[in-house]
Amino acid sequence: MSDRFTEKLRQQRRRRRWRIAAVAAAVVLVLAGAWAVWFSSLFEIRGVDVTGTEHLPAERVVRVADVPLGTPLLRLDTETTAEALRELPPVESVRIDRDFPHTVRISVTERSAVAWVDRSGTPWAVDPSGVVYRPLNRKPSHLPLLDVDADDRRVVAATARVAADIADGDRALLGDTNTITAETRDSIELALTKGRTVVWGSAEDARAKLAVLGPLLQIKASGYDVSAPERPTTLK
């Protein structure tokens, strides 16, 4: 009976030692893996790949991102890098991914133009939110000019929103719109082809305004007023 009890104790001790050894080995493996990922050159950054750019040079993206080559991938602060890239005017959004073992991938979405403004004789693209973000080589014939104070961000944003709403709701009307003018956010007007004008008012209620303007334009007139879409009128 004593021998059996002694053997049982030995087996329990052996199992305990194996468990301790297994846990110790697992800890060592975890620590080794953490060291390899966070501190060794096994997963160091060796290259940066940029996609999604059309007007913004990829070299400029790489320069602004300033990704530290030779740094382990997991130690890259992707949010700080993305924040720096979002400061570039043409960038609408950016995504940064770690592609193991050695590459940082930067996916850029550039802003798209819905209108343009004139700055000292140079046309500049304007996106739907009113951001004036890059100079153009020539005046775009397919986009309306925002005849506003280009430094008044609120008015630029309001008129750009109107241009975007027209682009989304009535592409034919966008093609007929030469200029969108405004001195304030509530005094927006459209200058159409054939010398016609549209009093738009504020940037609000675009869907209702577009719904009534279509039929209203079938009436021959020099001007149209949809600033109050529930009471649209023509102007002689």
Q: 179 to each of 61, 112, 145, 217, 223, how far by Cα in Å?
A: 34, 18, 5, 17, 14
CATH number at residue 228: 3.40.50.10960
Residue 222's domain spans which residues? 115-235
Query: Within this chain, do residues 124 and 215 fall inside the same structural domain, yes or no?
Result: yes
pLDDT tens string, the chain, 236 residues long: the values are: 566 666 666 666 667 767 765 666 565 555 555 555 555 568 899 999 999 999 999 999 999 999 999 999 999 999 999 999 999 999 999 999 999 999 999 999 999 999 999 999 999 999 999 999 999 999 999 999 999 999 999 999 999 999 999 999 999 999 999 999 999 999 999 999 999 999 999 999 999 999 999 999 999 999 999 999 999 999 87
Tokens of residue 234, six digits: 């023509």
Same domain for 208 and 120, yes or no, is: yes
Please say which residue of 110, 131, 161 terminates a domain.
110
Q: What's the CATH number where 83 sits?
A: 3.10.20.310
Q: Which of 110, 130, 153 finishes a domain?
A: 110
Residues 82 and 188 placed together within one structural domain of the fold: no
Shared domain for 192 and 88, answered yes or no, is no
Among candidates 89, 112, 109, which has minimal Cα distance to 168? 112
Domain count for the chain, please give it. Answer: 3
Q: Which of 109, 113, 119, 102 is nearest to 45 (CA)?
A: 102
Domain end position, chosen among 110, 125, 141: 110
